[in-house]
Amino acid sequence: MTFTYTRTIRFQDTDAAGVVYFASVLSICHEAYEESLAASGISLQAFFGKSSVGIPIVHASVDFLRPLFCGDKILIYLTPKYMGDDYFEVAYKVVTAGDREVAKALTEHVCINAESRSRQQLPEEIARWFQQWAE
């Protein structure tokens, strides 16, 4: 089942032209990622805090299909995809309240040992997260 995150575009998300600044879309998608982790019972404080495991984003991309403006209500559909023991992707579909697709994004994540910076197997809590939100 895909995770759904609801949000309103704020003035701070926009640029001088009054449309959503390109980097804001990735920030909003990351909010959805954090909410999906929390909804799976993962402690955000522990996950993003001092831990022996790190799961950095190693690639991100966004395609913009239509502009977004301050006050727009959006839904973000988040779907994780298992790519291997130490790697996953998250696809994001951004739609208006009327279900009109306005953007799509992708983030790629690797799991590393926080001290050695070498790849390691994804933790069990992420496996449970996949089970809950993957298609």
Cα–Cα dist 127/27, whole Å: 24
* Annotation says 15 is catalytic: yes
The candidate with the shortest Cα–Cα distance to 7, out of 25, 28, 27, is 28
Which member of 13, 15, 63, 86 is catalytic? Answer: 15
Radius of gyration of the chain (CA): 15
**Residue 128, both tokens:** 């449970």
Place of tokens 């609801």: 6
Q: Using the structure block, give the residue that is written with the tokens 């990622």.
A: 33
Taking Cα atoms as reference points, which of 54, 52, 5 lies closest to residue 27?
A: 5
Quote the CA–CA distance of 123 and 46 in Å, as a whole number. Answer: 13
Q: Which residues are catalytic?
A: 15
